[in-house]
Structure 1
């Protein structure tokens, strides 16, 4: 599922900002691989020489993406090519004013990984648009790359339907896309920082908790952590068939950081979303509040459930997923476990009953 993060691009406090955070472009890319990871997860790999102009580590292909995200421009039905946006200071209002049947959809997704791959000759299209508008403002591509190589990124999608059995535009696109199909995305330009929300500050321990919609972001963090990191990860997935910890790449990532315990919890039909996460969070925090006297928090319509930690020192907590679940988990951390509010990042990616991706 896509992550409806705040529309204004954000930079992580972890990284040095070399230029304005408004430096971004429209990148045409080609689908290079489609891989069904589990029953509910599919990975789409995207490549293009345009990504050489994207912020590192996308353009360098290092894979150290730390919860980086891009905005995927899903074309409307019948479109013959990738979406084009004429970027200027008023592009967003023009975009929103056009009907979805004409402009398509914009959804936010995690960049799960990045690497360099051989150029395939299918994606010589330059940047479709950028802010600033002058190509001279692009950072020169003066760096050593193997000849004939270009960046490739992975974007992981959660396949899902609403109560009527309909898929959102992002999920539907991921299910039907094929190798060779072109699409475009918004991302920061080289010389800018990646858009990301992960900001552990000087914290010595990590506690990362989320449902399946947060799995791509949290696993990208796990993959990028230094080997000496400590803490715990709790992910709740739809069922036993979605046991992400059985995937070889996830096992390798977890083994590389032995001080961080990875726990993947499968949700049965009888359990409410987030129930296992709440129980696990109470256990790891050493609290025993009974569920019947600690009711589930509900996110109000229009409520933005989103806040980034402010200079965490001891333990950095990241809570992400469905908004009501995130509110409940935050209450456990603050009211029951007594964790400092400034150490907690909480991000409601979506609300139950409202289609997002």
Structure 2
């Protein structure tokens, strides 16, 4: 297999611009000749960004086909940290890629890099290539071909993916955007879509997830007719991955049509509660609910 046939690989990229889009969202523009081959399947395409640390450079990262296994086998102090982000914009003709990251207090290696990054700094991005074709399993927004309403819900970590989805949905799509953010001015981050109602608010002190849970339950009461609740497999978010994207064997949507399609992402505890409400209490078909626990409160994870 030649480089031109590889569907995913590591791209070495340098920071060419940094802009604070809102109080909590910082946009990093990455450049470099290598990015001419960067793939753009669209929607909420996930990528992984490997950060250098104060003691380790990027050359410490295994780059082969079995890179993850090799990375896990390294002593912990020799592992470079990586995190998952959403590609926001790709400009292959300029060899540029934009990635929006949440800027907050330094609590781990990723937030440390975000806080001190400067133009010229380098990262590795594991992403699709231009040669990628077919189903991208880095895309978690997989709605049925016919859906009456769409519910996009999450916290600030889900905001870049929600924004990318909104920009690419057809104008006749409709639904609700329910998001809880750190700062009231962060609401300006989202593109406007004529078919969506926006339920976006700043997080109240000491009431994490309160706005998100209320907004989703209110939206579900209007968008999803009450049905018979289904059994929900309990997931221990301390030991298991809270992540399910219903698909067919060919990678497409699990259903042909649905009254409501829900895409939920953010802190695992909140997403677990929202998924239970939609499926077990409202009776939404579990094949029409994609849920992703991006992170867990109190933990810094790759």
Pairwise TM-score range, normalised by the shorter structure = 0.7 to 0.9
Select which of 142, 145, 148 maps to 1:199.
142
- Deviation per CA, 1:39-84, whole angstroms, max 9, x where unpaired? 3221111122212222235xxxxxxx20012111111324456665
**Alpha-carbon offset, residue 208 of structure 1:** 0.5
**Alpha-carbon offset, residue 324 of structure 1:** 0.9
Aligned to 2:178: 234
Q: Are 2:254 and 1:318 equivalent residues in the alignment?
A: no
- Distance across 1 between alignment mates of 2:299 and 2:280: 28
RMSD of aligned alpha carbons: 2.5
Aligned to 1:70: 47
Where relative contact order (Cα < 8 A, 6+ residues apart) is larger, the structure is 1
Aligned to 2:69: 93
SS, match of residue 298 in structure 2: coil
Q: How many residues align?
A: 277
Aligned to 1:304: 241
Gaps of 5+ in 1: 1-18, 58-64, 117-148, 288-296
Aligned to 1:189: 129
- 5 Å matches for 1:129-208? 149-161=93-105, 166-193=106-133, 194=136, 195-204=138-147, 205-208=149-152
Gaps of 5+ in 2: 223-233, 248-253
Contact 1:76 1:100 in 2 (8 A): no
- Distance across 2 between alignment mates of 1:87 and 1:111: 22
SS, match of residue 111 in structure 1: strand
- Distance across 2 between alignment mates of 1:82 and 1:217: 29
**Alpha-carbon offset, residue 110 of structure 1:** 0.9
Question: CA, structure 1 residues 334+30, in 2 after alignment: closer, same or farther (shift >3 Å)?
Answer: same
Q: Compute the TM-score of the two structures, normalised by the length of structure 1.
A: 0.71
Question: CA, structure 1 residues 267+188, in 2 after alignment: closer, same or farther (shift >3 Å)?
Answer: same
**Alpha-carbon offset, residue 102 of structure 1:** 2.9
Contact 1:73 1:183 in 2 (8 A): yes
Contact 1:157 1:171 in 2 (8 A): no
Contact 2:22 2:188 in 1 (8 A): no
- Distance across 2 between alignment mates of 1:81 and 1:326: 33
Select which of 331, 340, 351 maps to 2:285.
340
Select which of 315, 324, 327 maps to 2:272.
327
SS, match of residue 176 in structure 2: strand
Select which of 9, 25, 32 maps to 1:25.
9
Question: CA, structure 1 residues 98+76, in 2 after alignment: closer, same or farther (shift >3 Å)?
Answer: farther
**Alpha-carbon offset, residue 262 of structure 1:** 2.4
SS, match of residue 184 in structure 1: strand
SS, match of residue 234 in structure 1: strand
- Distance across 2 between alignment mates of 1:102 and 1:208: 38
